[in-house]
Amino acid sequence: MHTRRIGDIEVSAIGLGAMPMSIEGRPDETRSLATIHAALDAGVTLIDTADAYHQYADEVGHNETLIAKALASHDRGKDVLVATKGGHLRPGDGTWTLDGSPEHIKEACEASLRRLGVEAIGLYQFHRPDPKVPYAESVGAVRDLLDAGKIRMAGISNANPEQIRQASEILGGRLVSVQNQFSPAFRSSEPELRLCDELGIAFLPWSPLGGISRAGELGSVHAPFARIAEVHGVSPQQVCLAWMLAKSPVVVPIPGSSRPETIRDSLAAADLALTADERAELDTV
């Protein structure tokens, strides 16, 4: 597996987005554990989660607990950087709400520490700006967690360029990651990607294949990805991830998966080299 860097940690060039294993439509635990183990067997050393990745109100942190169980039962579990997030909430009725208050972020981090069974979280990211709370206060809570040794690295998610610069300043230059939505159908995070490239901050595209319900349709919706996939004898999904990797060395896609076969297919994209003409064509889709 090729590698990239998040802060001072070397991770697999493609990580595993674990959300599909805990929200609506999730598989049974046996298949989820098999999916995580398949990712580890293939060389994954980055897994993305959040305390809000659950379905019902009484199971906050379902995904973190699942990951902790999978890592504890695999001989390479200790080699994995777990990136989790706080600041988002799911009441259990299918909706998402926000709480960016410093009090909540610090309480959420403590709960994540317990579920993951670690003394310090490898990468902790503020999940989404809360319009009711000044951004500086939310990021300031993450800074406090970093200073206290509760987390080893700090990141933000769903941020714009101004917020990236602000977070970097508040964290004293210790911002290591930005996790934003980015896919062939959602390219409005290009400015954030370019800024991360400029600043040397890891950019983690979430839903890089278009989301849980649309990932399988990528080739039919975006024909050039299917055409180039046929040329190389691979899936359109592999072409998509290879295209993202070619954009900048700071890009570390985290495709979601709930099946061993889909994460194995996604990870093969790290070995796919696209030509300059192919990359240019995909940029204009």
Active site residues per annotation:
53
Q: Is the separation of the CB atoms in 154 and 142 below 8 Å? A: yes
Position 106: which residue type? K
Kindly report the number of other CB atoms within 10 A of residue 48's CB atom: 27
End-to-end CA distance of the chain: 28
261, burial (CB in 10 Å: exposed 0-12, middle 13-18, buried 19+): exposed
Between vectors from CA 127 to CA 174 and to CA 197, what angle results, nearest 5°? 45
Between vectors from CA 70 to CA 55 and to CA 4, what angle results, nearest 5°? 95
What 3-state DSSP class applies to 147? helix
Between vectors from CA 135 to CA 143 and to CA 145, what angle results, nearest 5°? 15
**What are the backbone dihedrals phi and psi of residue 114, each rounded to the nearest 5 degrees, phi first?**
-65, -45
Position 134: which residue type? P
